[in-house]
Chain A
Amino acid sequence: MSVRHALLALLSEGPKYGLQLREEFEANTGQVWPLNVGQVYTTLQRLERDGLVSAVSDAEPGGEPGPQKAYRTTEAGSAELVQWLRVPPDLSTPPRDDLVMKVLIAVRVPGTDVSEVIQAHRRYLVELMQEWTRLKEDDNGRDVAFALVVDSELFRIDSVVRWLDAAEARLRRALADGWNPAKAAAATLSAGLPTRPKMGVRR
């Protein structure tokens, strides 16, 4: 999460104080990402150092940020914000996902019921989704920013549940067809690991 750019965005509306920035940041993210005021001041200091914001009027430029010091964006700051909004975050490299690893490994552990392992994770994830849904329900769509954040969490967790469903179906089919994970791995090794194309498009 980019606190830096979120602060630039809030300052693009006009000069603001650190405390005010913290409050607005939390309100704008449905209070799901709490931010302490120290973090705000450190970030403002760095933004000032990089020439992206400047202190307003009565305060000394370069001095310690504090409650009495307001900031505004510079031209470079506005340009940086415009640029950042349009650059997609890097999703091209698959993260090393713990859950994917657990399922891949469960397949290789003798005597392990993979469906049962998958179900333990599925239940946990659905319980987590129930909690998010309850938050959304209680708020009843009043806080749009909050609903956006909750939706994004729900879609993210949902995609993991769907992967578990697909993984279970794929493994069941493969096992029913006589697939043996240890033998299959040995065969792949002796044939030499296939080289796969590198992922990633130019952003």
Chain B
Amino acid sequence: MSVLELRSISKVYGRGAAEVQALRDVSLTVAAGEMVAVMGPSGSGKSSLLTIAGTLEEPTSGAVVVNGEDTLRMAGGAKSRIRRRAIGYVFQDFNLLPGLTAAENVSLPLELDGTSMRKAHLAALKALEELGLSDRARHFPDQMSGGERQRVAIARAVVGERSLLLADEPSGALDSANGESVMRLIHTYCKRGVAAVVVTHDAQLASWADRVVFLRDGRVVDQTAAPAGPETLLESSS
């Protein structure tokens, strides 16, 4: 089943002479377990696409369907709920709350959604353990390296069985080794059934995705074909 379905999304900012058409008739479907990268230069509409997919912003026209539900037809409360329960966000600059420890940052979305503090804390510790960050659970963001902070941010985004992970240049602020481990991590979650959309201008990061969609001037202009087996590569290099 598709986790995210964008149907003919258009987005216009401003009016008259200041009008900017950020997205033009963009359709994109992401299945459970699929990792899609959206590649394009700055100004191509990548970030608008992500905020609209995450229901943080409404399109000018089109439909945003998450887990089969048309989010534009939802009441405010139901929409916040889907945002809290189904969707996780990862940002370039991590966006961890500086006054909270790693574990508290991860457990916060669960607590906001009504999970008891104790249960949320245990879930956070488990998520951090999986990322090899158990010894960092009581550290504050400024006591951690960039790579560790981003892994905590990913734990926060996926904790509580969320089905859609949206990431905006998630390794933009990291060196290549840390960038790679972030992409590896997102891919691992996808293999467990999470659907992910990663926006990036970096081809090396995009190449972790199952499918790469190319955005130009607010339009999807192209996408990569279904993957061939890696065997073909080694054969062709011999």
Listed in ascending order, the chain A residues whose CB lies under 8 Å from chain B are 31-34, 115, 119, 122-123, 125-135, 137-138, 154-155, 157-158, 161-162, 165, 168-169
B39 CB to closest chain A CB (Å) equals 7
In the bound complex, how far is the Cα of B222 from the Cα of A135, in angstroms? 24
Contacting A at CB under 8 A, from B155-206, are: 184, 187, 201-204, 206
Residues of A near B41 (CB, < 8 A) are 165, 168-169
Kindly state whether residue B112 has any CB partner on chain A within 8 Å.
Answer: no
Query: A135-B230, A137-B184 are known contacts. Are A126 and B39 too (CB-CB below 8 A)?
Result: yes
Given A126-B206, A158-B203: A131 touches B214 (CB 8 Å cut-off)? no
Query: A165–B43 Cα gap in the complex (Å)?
Result: 13
Partner of B204 from the list A31, A154, A168 (CB cut-off 8 Å) is A154
Does B222 contact A123, Cβ atoms closer than 8 Å?
yes
Q: What is the interface of chain B, defined by CB distance below 8 A to chain A? A: 39, 41, 184, 187, 201-204, 206-209, 212, 214, 216, 221-225, 227-228, 230, 232-234, 237-238
Q: Is the interface of A mostly helix, strand, loop or mixed?
A: helix
Which of B202, B204, B228 is the one whose CB lies under 8 Å from A131? B228
CB neighbours of A157 from chain B (8 A): 203
Give Cα distance in the complex from A134 to B212, angstroms.
14
User: Residue on A with the closest CB to B202?
Assistant: A158
The answer, among B216, B228, B234, for a CB contact under 8 Å with A31, is B234
Known: A115-B216, A154-B207. A131 touches B221 (CB 8 A): no
Q: What residues of B have a CB within 8 angstroms of the CB of A115 in the complex?
A: 216
Contacting pair B207 A133 (CB below 8 A): yes
Which one of A122, A137, A162 lies within 8 Å of B214 (CB-CB)? A122
Distance, CA A123 to CA B37, complexed state (A) = 13
Q: Are A127 and B237 in contact (CB under 8 A)?
A: no
Chain A contacts of B203 at CB under 8 A? 125-126, 129, 157-158, 161-162
Known: A123-B214, A126-B39, A127-B225. 20 other contacts (CB 8 A): A32-B237, A33-B237, A115-B216, A119-B222, A122-B214, A122-B222, A123-B222, A125-B203, A127-B212, A127-B227, A129-B203, A130-B207, A131-B228, A131-B232, A133-B204, A137-B184, A137-B187, A155-B204, A157-B203, A165-B201
List the B side residues contacting A127 at CB < 8 Å.
212, 224-225, 227
The answer for the CA separation of A129 and B228 in the assembled complex, in Å, is 12
